[in-house]
């Protein structure tokens, strides 16, 4: 992207720079080219997206924006480029190594909060925490909750640690496989919540996900249910009698995910805001 002259880019130039970026992202197959171009511009200029039209661009801004647009056109996730993602009431740091928290997981948090609403100091465990999104949202929205976040991938755990530190919320991080959680919590947990990997091996994914998000956050065996099987086993061990599990799954996995909870009480498949099967709740 080029800019004429050494001074600030005027409104008309800025509009042309944005239009060129939208064209480039459209050609690259990005789903929401205008929204992404505007978010990158807002990030570069340090202004809210709604104030972009008033912002002045320096040549350095135009150059930096051009670099980011090129990376977005190579399908680097927008959230990795701007370094943060909004989740519930939090702004979380994310980057390579971290799964980007998705809006549909916000409904999993909503369900988790509902299940512990009557308990003043619930013990909550977030299995497969990634950047810490679910654990932190629960800790923020249910003060008094004692939250443990468990993550096997050291790079993802690094992002969780950073988010715990930045928010100052009372979440403990255990770096290790959920299968290896020490037995000293068995039978004492009020709620287990999890968004584990649930993509079937070989299933095609958008370039942003397939090329850049960690494989260990995505794939889970031939039917995509291997991690959910482990989550169910670990949850059964951790929960006190009457404690609850909330587990996210793929939109075509509702009945199969519910079947994993055979022998539990009140097993229910729930839909996300788009009306797709998204998570199962069950009581031990
Ligand atoms: C789909 S991502 C979800 C991250 C986070 N819960 C969220 O919703 O944004 C799944 C996470 O589970 C982690 N994971 C996969 N298998 C695991 C295991 N056996 N024990 C602990 N963490 C695991 C991955 O490293 C990844 O960070």
Q: Is 271 in the pocket of ligand 1 (CB under 6 A)?
A: no
Q: Above 80 in pLDDT, residue 4?
A: no
β-bridge pairing 146-151 and 123-127 = parallel
Separation of 131 CA from ligand 1 center, angstroms? 9
Would you place residue 32 in the very low, low, confident or very high pLDDT band (cuts 50, 70, 90)? Answer: very high
Domain ranges (residues) in the chain: 11-74, 88-283
Amino acid 1: pLDDT: 45
Q: What share of the chain is helix, strand, coil (3-state, %, to 5)?
A: 45, 20, 35
Query: Do the beta carbons of residue 227 and residue 128 sit within 8 Å?
Result: yes
Give the other-Cβ count within 10 Å of 151's Cβ.
28
Question: CA-to-CA distance for 134 and 137, rounded, in angstroms?
Answer: 5
Separation of 257 CA from ligand 1 center, angstroms? 17
Query: Do the beta carbons of residue 25 and residue 36 sit within 8 Å?
Result: yes
Q: Is 150 in the pocket of ligand 1 (CB under 6 A)?
A: yes
Would you place residue 189 in the very low, low, confident or very high pLDDT band (cuts 50, 70, 90)? Answer: very high
Can you say whether residue 260 is alpha, beta or left, with left for phi > 0 and alpha for psi between -120 and 50 degrees? Answer: alpha
Q: Is 156 in the pocket of ligand 1 (CB under 6 A)?
A: yes
Ligand 1 pocket test, pick from 77, 152, 219 with the greatest ligand atom count within 8 Å of Cβ, gives: 152
Fold topology of 11-74: Helicase, Ruva Protein; domain 3 (1.10.8)
Asked whether the domain spanning 88-283 has the same topology as the one spanning 11-74, the reply is no
Would you place residue 9 in the very low, low, confident or very high pLDDT band (cuts 50, 70, 90)? Answer: low
Separation of 216 CA from ligand 1 center, angstroms? 7
Q: Is 213 in the pocket of ligand 1 (CB under 6 A)?
A: no
Q: What is the rounded average pLDDT of the residues 159-188? A: 97
Amino acid 5: pLDDT: 38
Q: For 233-257, how does the pLDDT look when each residue is reduced to its tens digit (9 = 90+)?
A: 999 999 999 999 999 999 999 999 9
Question: CA-to-CA distance for 110 and 230, rounded, in angstroms?
Answer: 23
Separation of 134 CA from ligand 1 center, angstroms? 11
The CATH class given to the 88-283 domain equals alpha beta
Burial class (CB in 10 A: 0-12, 13-18, 19+), 120: exposed
Q: Which two tokens stand for residue 163?
A: 């988010």
Q: For 196-232, how does the pLDDT look when each residue is reduced to its tens digit (9 = 90+)?
A: 999 999 999 999 999 999 999 999 999 999 999 999 9
Q: What is the pTM of this model?
A: 0.94
Per-residue b or e along 213-237, where b marks 16 or more CB atoms closer than 10 Å to that residue's CB:
beebbbbbeeebbbbbebbbebbbb
Q: Above 50 in pLDDT, residue 142?
A: yes
Q: What is the rounded average pLDDT of the residues 84-95? A: 98
Query: Do the beta carbons of residue 197 and residue 227 sit within 8 Å?
Result: yes
Average pLDDT value for the chain: 95
Q: For 106-136, how does the pLDDT look when each residue is reduced to its tens digit (9 = 90+)?
A: 999 999 999 999 999 999 999 999 999 999 9
Give the chain's largest Cα–Cα span.
72
Q: Above 60 in pLDDT, residue 145?
A: yes
Amino acid 10: pLDDT: 63
Q: Whose CA is nearest to atom 9 of ligand 1?
A: 101
* Catalytic (active-site) positions: 99, 195-196
Question: CA-to-CA distance for 187 and 236, rounded, in angstroms?
Answer: 8
Q: For 51-86, how does the pLDDT look when each residue is reduced to its tens digit (9 = 90+)?
A: 998 888 999 999 999 999 999 999 999 999 999 999
Q: Whose CA is nearest to atom 27 of ligand 1?
A: 130
Q: What is the rounded average pLDDT of the residues 183-207? A: 97
Amino acid 53: pLDDT: 84
Of 170, 85, 186, the residue nearest 130 (C-alpha): 85
Q: Above 90 in pLDDT, residue 14?
A: no
Q: Above 60 in pLDDT, residue 6?
A: no
Q: Is 137 in the pocket of ligand 1 (CB under 6 A)?
A: no
């Amino acid at each position: 992207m080029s800019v004429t002259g050494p001074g600030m880019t005027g409104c008309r130039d800025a509009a042309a720079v944005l239009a060129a970026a939208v064209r480039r992202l459209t050609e690259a197959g990005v789903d929401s080219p205008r929204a992404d171009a505007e978010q990158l511009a807002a990030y570069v200029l340090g202004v809210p997206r709604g104030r972009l039209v008033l912002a002045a661009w320096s040549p350095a801004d135009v150059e930096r924006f051009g670099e980011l647009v090129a990376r977005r056109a190579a399908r680097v996730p927008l959230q990795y480029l701007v370094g943060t993602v909004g989740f519930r009431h939090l702004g979380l740091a994310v980057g390579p190594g971290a799964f980007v928290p998705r809006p549909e997981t916000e409904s999993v948090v909503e369900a988790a909060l509902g299940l512990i609403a009557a308990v003043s100091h619930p013990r909550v465990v977030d299995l497969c925490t990634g950047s810490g999104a679910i654990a932190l949202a629960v800790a923020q929205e249910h003060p008094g909750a004692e939250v443990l976040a468990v993550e096997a991938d050291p790079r993802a755990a690094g992002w969780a640690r950073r988010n715990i530190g930045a928010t100052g919320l009372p979440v403990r991080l255990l770096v290790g496989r959920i299968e290896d959680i020490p037995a000293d919590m068995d039978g004492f947990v009020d709620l287990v919540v999890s968004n584990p990997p649930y993509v079937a091996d070989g299933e095609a994914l958008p370039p942003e996900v397939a090329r850049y998000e960690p494989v260990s956050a995505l794939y889970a065996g031939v039917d995509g249910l291997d991690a959910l099987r482990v989550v169910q086993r670990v949850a059964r061990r951790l929960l006190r009698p009457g404690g609850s599990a909330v587990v996210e799954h793929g939109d075509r996995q509702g009945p199969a995910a519910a079947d994993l909870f055979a022998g539990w009480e009140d097993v229910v498949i729930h839909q996300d805001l788009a009306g797709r099967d998204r998570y199962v709740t069950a009581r031990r």
